[in-house]
């Protein structure tokens, strides 16, 4: 099989992407990779010489949400780089070819070698793999064949990385992630439900620029995207620190953008760059839209009750949750807020976060008393949306 001779940069320019937009893309990628903006020049030069890399994209036990997320991204970024500019020789959902013709294209790519294998969906091992077969072959069989000559395997979405929803208890299909099957070559995990397309694009750009996969954590996740707790970069963190929580959907705190910890937010235990990269080309993200994080970048998240608060002491040092003690299990009262404000005001720098939050809320005309009223007598259970 022969591949186009144009470099990735040439291909993008031929497609009408301006040089200015291309440079913006390189800068965006440097930022996504958590590298200094000077690296953008390096990416520019690498993409100017890098030839289009063949990609085989397998879909196993999944909902196609990761492919959907990719197709919905715009600009000369994620979708074009990975789906157009690279040579996607096989993708069950979006390829024009079907049946024998499609299988032949995949076989030719596998035989030629040197391709990236992207896998979406979990592998079904139960009852000889009968629960997920394509063309009469099991998902495990198809994965092993496609991985054999790949230079690297990139698992996308929580299903392919950690088993996802198919693996949720009682796991009737005996679903597993890609790294449970492929152990003889590099497997990089980009979890999420769905994955963030920027993270896959940045991984591919890193591979093309530096000739290697990015540095990973012990769960095979790239550190540039999964090296920080969501909680550490969350825009509602000031409210967490000030003890300002949402207690019920639509209450005053919810309308004001307060912390969603009491509504089951898994941000304090989840590693992901959602708060900085966001979804839909940086438009928004779950917490930004008012929903608690469900921890979709972590293994087994489907077996963790979505709206049940986690035990902070299992994940964070005590110094990071000053307001979440026994007293803070209650919604804030006006007196409590005043007292806390006074006390914190005496204590050195911690007053800044609290004072800022209180001032912001006053400016918005939000009274903590309204929150108390809506939440009943202060017991968390009573204020639960159910």
The residues of the shown chain that bind ligand SF4, judged by CB under 6 A, are 230-231, 234, 236-237, 240, 259-261, 265, 267-268, 287, 293
Q: How far is the CB of 261 from ligand SF4 (least distance, A)?
A: 4
**Owner of token pair 């099991």:** 138
Q: How far is the CB of 262 from ligand SF4 (least distance, A)?
A: 9
Q: How far is the CB of 277 from ligand SF4 (least distance, A)?
A: 15
DSSP 384: S
CA separation for the pair 265, 248 (Å, rounded)? 13
DSSP 319: G
> Considering beta carbons, is residue 211 or 282 the nearer one to ligand SF4?
282
Angle at 275 between CA 232 and CA 238, to 5 degrees: 50
> Considering beta carbons, is residue 91 or 231 the nearer one to ligand SF4?
231
60 burial level (CB within 10 Å; 0-12, 13-18, 19+): buried
> Considering beta carbons, is residue 58 or 287 the nearer one to ligand SF4?
287
Query: Nearest 5°: phi and psi at 30?
Result: -60, -40
286 is written with which tokens? 């779950």
> Considering beta carbons, is residue 221 or 231 the nearer one to ligand SF4?
231
> Considering beta carbons, is residue 82 or 259 the nearer one to ligand SF4?
259
Q: How far is the CB of 315 from ligand SF4 (least distance, A)?
A: 10
Q: How far is the CB of 249 from ligand SF4 (least distance, A)?
A: 14
CA separation for the pair 217, 221 (Å, rounded)? 5
Burial 162-191 (b: 16+ CB within 10 A, else e): bbbbbbeeebebbbbbbbebbeeebbbbbb
CA separation for the pair 54, 70 (Å, rounded)? 17
CA separation for the pair 18, 130 (Å, rounded)? 49
In whole angstroms, how large is the CA radius of gyration of the chain? 24
Q: How far is the CB of 311 from ligand SF4 (least distance, A)?
A: 13
Give the chain's count of helices (H) and strands (E): 17, 9
> Considering beta carbons, is residue 128 or 327 the nearer one to ligand SF4?
327
Q: How far is the CB of 266 from ligand SF4 (least distance, A)?
A: 7
Those residues whose C-beta lies under 8 Å from the C-beta of residue 327, and which sit 6 or more positions away, are 336
Q: Give residue number: closest CB to ligand SF4.
A: 267
> Considering beta carbons, is residue 83 or 230 the nearer one to ligand SF4?
230
Q: Is the CB of residue 61 less than 8 Å from the CB of residue 123?
A: yes
> Considering beta carbons, is residue 75 or 228 the nearer one to ligand SF4?
228
Q: How far is the CB of 306 from ligand SF4 (least distance, A)?
A: 13
| CA distances for 259 relative to 28, 93, 228, 256, angstroms | 29, 38, 18, 9
């Amino acid at each position: 099989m022969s591949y186009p001779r144009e470099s990735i940069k040439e291909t993008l320019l031929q497609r009408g992407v301006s040089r200015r937009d291309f440079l913006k893309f390189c800068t965006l990628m440097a930022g996504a990779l958590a590298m200094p903006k000077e690296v953008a020049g390096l990416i520019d030069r690498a993409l100017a010489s890098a030839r289009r890399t063949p990609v085989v994209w397998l879909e196993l036990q999944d909902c196609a949400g990761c492919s959907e997320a990719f197709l919905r991204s715009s600009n000369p970024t994620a979708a074009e780089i990975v789906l157009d500019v690279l040579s996607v020789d096989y993708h069950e959902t979006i390829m024009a070819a079907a049946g024998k013709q499609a299988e032949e294209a995949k076989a030719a790519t596998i035989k030629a070698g040197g391709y990236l294998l992207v896998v979406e969906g979990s592998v079904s091992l139960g009852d000889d793999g009968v629960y997920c077969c394509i063309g009469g072959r099991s998902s495990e069989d198809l994965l092993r064949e496609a991985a054999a000559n790949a230079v690297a395997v990139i698992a996308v979405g929580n299903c392919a990385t950690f088993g996802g929803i198919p693996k949720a208890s009682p796991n009737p299909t005996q679903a597993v992630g890609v790294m449970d099957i492929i152990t003889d070559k590099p497997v990089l995990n980009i979890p999420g439900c769905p994955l963030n397309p920027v993270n896959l694009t940045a991984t591919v750009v890193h591979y093309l620029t530096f000739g290697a996969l990015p540095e990973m954590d012990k769960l095979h996740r790239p550190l540039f995207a999964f090296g920080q707790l969501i909680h550490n970069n969350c825009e509602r963190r000031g409210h967490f620190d000030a003890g300002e929580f949402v207690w019920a959907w639509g209450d005053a705190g919810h309308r004001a953008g307060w912390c969603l910890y009491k509504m089951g937010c898994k941000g304090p235990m989840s590693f992901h760059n959602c708060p900085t990269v966001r979804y839909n080309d940086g438009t928004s993200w779950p917490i930004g839209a008012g929903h608690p994080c469900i921890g979709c970048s972590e293994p087994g998240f489907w077996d963790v009750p979505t709206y049940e608060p986690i035990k902070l002491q299992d994940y964070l040092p005590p110094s990071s949750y000053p307001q979440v003690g026994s007293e803070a299990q209650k919604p804030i009262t006006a007196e409590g807020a005043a007292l806390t404000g006074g006390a914190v005001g005496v204590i050195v720098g911690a007053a800044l976060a609290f004072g800022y939050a209180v001032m912001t809320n006053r400016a918005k005309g939000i009274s903590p008393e309204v929150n108390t009223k809506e939440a009943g007598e202060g017991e968390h259970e009573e204020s639960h949306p159910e």
